[in-house]
A and B are shown apart, each in its own frame.
Chain A
Amino acid sequence: MTTLYTSDHEWLSIDGDTATIGITDYAQAQLGDVVFVELPQVGRSLKKAEAAAVVESVKAASDVYAPITGEVVEVNQAIVDEPALVNTDASGKAWFFKLKVADKGELGGLMDEAAYKAHTA
């Protein structure tokens, strides 16, 4: 399974034609304590770079963008019920939503782990 990153601090991991999307550990650290998460509806079609979810800390709300175009096939109710999971396990249990990938060609524009590390260094 490959994990790729956006410059806006989303990660996505590809399994066949399904992409699982979350925010990076770097992003959760910048946000601070997450107290609320709003996820997209299953079945919604998202365009690349469209605002897809909202993550709120005590102080501020931030959008989470779709890293690629696709249809939402699953969302993670666990982070709605327990937003603090985003702080404790951003790159694991605290995934946000899964997309059915529309165009694998879009993946080419994303960063690999080394490039993302350099981006946030």
Chain B
Amino acid sequence: MAEPAAASSLSLKRTPLHALHVSLGGKIVPFAGYEMPVQYAPGVLKEHLHTRAAAGLFDVSHMGQVALVPKSGKVTDAAAALERLVPQDIIGIAPGRQRYAQFTNADGGILDDLMVANFGEHLVLVVNAACKDADIELLRNGLSDVCEVQPLADRALLALQGPRAAAVLAKFCADADSMRFMDAGPRMIDGLACYVSRSGYTGEDGYEISVPADKAEQLAEALLSDKDVLPIGLGARDSLRLEAGLCLYGHDIDTTTTPVEAALEWSVQKLRRSGGARAAGFPGADRILAQFDSGAARRRVGLKPEGRAPVREGAVLFATADATDPIGKVTSGGFGPTLNAPVAMGYVPTALAALDTRLFADVRGQRLPLRVAAMPFVPNTYKR
């Protein structure tokens, strides 16, 4: 049996929770330039199912947190400036609310996806670990006439996810349960000055909690003291987000995919589309708005293999069992523990993107049948 190649740990960064991961028995692997726990003793399957049944605590401190502070003191100035870089309605994010967005490039491709929260006097962004340096440069180059771009490097980020998350956090934060999905802002948790959003990336109800780095271990241990909460590694985080139909940057979306091709139209408000009050004005608007108006040639879809074999990232898709020309590729795929079945997503020509269309994936030289399926594969449980 072939063993996965061990990657060098040289020059890898550690999060403020590294020592805790090790003491909890986490299996540490390199991920996006960090040493991160891929799983703990129970393993990916049980960690995944525990998160869906109770609550899981994830260290996502490798992700970037950035404050955009308007020089004028008016948060709408920072929001208007950020609209130069993303196709979303940022001015319309009410104080105390958060929204999903993408940085786009001149071709309409996606440079990164991110969360944008309005904290009342400034914006707080959460961006992907592998992109954060480039994102900060993009923000500084694009917005420094209007905003101070302040990386919040001294903060850790925890995600508490699952049906018990609200009850657990309510023990440490009086108004945690009164927050609705995508509410965001400063909150005191266990006496610590945190930033909390009711969001996450598992499809479950839950929270992301930004905490001062030197208090991260204290907060993690407090949350883990609840019997409903287990530490969960990146392995289960990936299978959870795949079941939730959520994109992983660098896999399901990248600089070659537009928000329309990626089936992220819902994230672009009408006001930024053709005919809207603030239409265009973001990188790649010509291409992206043309795709809104006339459709894109390809589309990200959910895929359900008919058999038991997982169909993984990179598998080539065909329209028929004996076709020679590929029609697309799987961008994420694996086994969905909640469904007890394989699930995948990938890009196909729009003509073949209709629900239930039967396609074939090449897996080790065999053509395995799969069907275009609705996402999320597992219904989300957000508290709207």
Contact surface of A with B, Cβ cutoff 8 Å = 8-10, 23, 27, 30-33, 35-36, 38, 54-65
Contact = CB atoms under 8 A, between A and B. Distances in A.
A63 B1 contact: yes
A35 B46 CA distance: 12
Find the residue from A27, A31, A32, A55 having the highest chain B CB count within 10 A: A32
Nearest to A81: B308
Interface string B306-350: 001110100000000000000000000011010000100000000
Contacts of A63: 1-2
B235 interface: yes
Contacts of B2: 8, 62-63, 65
A31 B1 CA distance: 10
Contacts of A36: 308-310, 335, 342
A56 B310 contact: yes
Chain A interface secondary structure, helix, strand, loop or mixed?
strand
A21 B48 CA distance: 31
A33 B4 contact: no
B337 A8 contact: no
Interface in B1-29: 1-4
B335 A58 contact: yes
A22 B181 CA distance: 48
23 contacts: A8-B1, A8-B2, A9-B3, A23-B1, A30-B3, A31-B1, A33-B44, A33-B45, A35-B45, A35-B335, A36-B342, A55-B1, A56-B335, A58-B44, A58-B48, A58-B239, A58-B337, A59-B334, A60-B312, A63-B1, A63-B2, A64-B1, A65-B2
Given A35-B310, A36-B308, A36-B310, A57 B1 contact: no
Contacts of B239: 58-59
A77 B296 CA distance: 45
Interface of B: 1-4, 38-39, 43-46, 48, 235, 238-239, 308-310, 312, 334-335, 337, 342, 364
Contacts of A9: 1, 3
A121 to B, nearest CB: 15
A65 B2 CA distance: 8
A60 B312 CA distance: 8
A64 B3 CA distance: 10
A54 B308 CA distance: 13
Given A33-B43, A57-B44, A65 B308 contact: no
A31 B312 CA distance: 16
